[in-house]
Amino acid sequence: LTGIPREQRAFQYLLAHAIPGDPHHILQTFDQWCYHCEHLSCVGPAKGRIVERLLLERAPLRVLELGTYCGYGTVLLAQGLPPGARLYTVEGDPRHAAVAEKVIRLAGFDEHTVELIVGPSEEVIPQLQEKHGLMKADFVFMDHWKRCYLRDLKLLESHQLLAEGATILADNVLFPGAPHFLQYAKTCGRYRCKVHRASLEY
């Protein structure tokens, strides 16, 4: 009705209520908006705890996120990085990327810590080494179009972008579902698989 996209409305709510430079409070404010105002397809606090735990266990120095959306997952990942780590996040929709950029900077992360790359993942992934300096990713978080999960995993493999022992965390593989990705991960012999049970966000 307002002509303002809901992602932009959520950002306006953040500006009014969140503490700048406080990533935890940014996420809490996002959660308040999603619970009480409008649903956004963010990771959310329940699944966010799984992400936080894995980051703490793995302490990755080079992290790749596919599917920035509004920047919720990006802030979640960035606040869990060890010192000196760098996060590369890829968003295909320029409108979402514009909101995410503001959210990431509002949370206090500069371009040295978080690099936002705008473009389709199938075009960005082959350029990550040469154009963006990401030689190997220790941790990959997939939260973009489910139909792209398998294609992009194979792209990461073919461009040798996965460090030895890398962790790949993929959201919503059961619902809405990424069955071909799951089947490949379980049967190709390259990965040890674990399914983390969680409810849908919010």
Query: What residues act catalytically?
Result: 143, 146, 171-172, 201
| Interior/surface letters 96-125, b for 16+ CB within 10 angstroms, e for the rest | bbebbbbbbbbbbbeeeebbbbbeebeebb
Q: Encoding tokens for residue 41?
A: 């397809």
The runs of H, that is alpha helices, within the chain are 6-17, 23-36, 44-58, 72-79, 94-106, 121-124, 128-132, 149-158, 179-187
Q: Residue 202 and residue 23: Cα distance in Å, rounded?
A: 19
Q: Residue 79 and residue 92: Cα distance in Å, rounded?
A: 23
CA Rg, the chain, in Å?
Answer: 16
Residues 6+ apart with CB under 8 A from 176: 146
Burial class (CB within 10 angstroms; exposed 0-12, middle 13-18, buried 19+) of 57? exposed
Give the sign of the dihedral formed by CA 137, CA 72, CA 119, CA 113: negative
